[in-house]
């Protein structure tokens, strides 16, 4: 199950920027706690959530998404390696 979840999240880690048909987004946090993800997304079956902000909006407010990483998503900037290793500890 863990591997499936990581595949669904894809390369979205804090500091990464990705783009799709909806816009371009900076990843602020990845929530892997199912209970917290369910609260953020309002879905009983959520296992994870990604907190992002729209980089094209001047005052873009953070919001949570639970959409899986697909071939239509494109990584613009990978997550900062130093930040990623600090977060995983």
- Structural domain boundaries, residue 23: 2-88
Q: How far apart are CA 10 and CA 30, in angstroms?
A: 11
- Residue pair 52/63 in contact (Cβ under 8 Å)? The answer is yes
pLDDT, tens digit, 9 for 90 and up, residues 19-77 = 999 999 999 999 999 999 999 999 999 999 999 999 999 998 999 999 999 999 999 99
Sheet with 23-31, edge to edge strand ranges: 63-65, 49-54, 23-31, 17-20, 74-77
Query: pTM to 2 decimals?
Result: 0.87
Residue 87 pLDDT exceeds 60 = no
E strand or H helix at 51, and its extent? strand 49-54
The structural domain count of the chain equals 1
Q: How far apart are CA 85 and CA 73, in angstroms?
A: 23
């Amino acid at each position: 199950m863990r591997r499936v979840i990581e595949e669904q999240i894809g390369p979205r880690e804090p500091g990464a920027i990705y783009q799709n048909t909806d816009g371009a987004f900076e990843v602020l946090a990845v929530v892997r706690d199912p209970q917290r993800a369910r609260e953020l997304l309002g879905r009983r079956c959520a296992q994870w959530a990604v907190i992002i902000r729209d980089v094209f909006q001047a005052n873009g407010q953070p919001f949570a998404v639970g959409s899986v990483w697909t071939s239509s998503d494109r990584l613009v900037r990978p997550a900062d390696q130093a930040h990623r290793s600090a977060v995983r500890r």
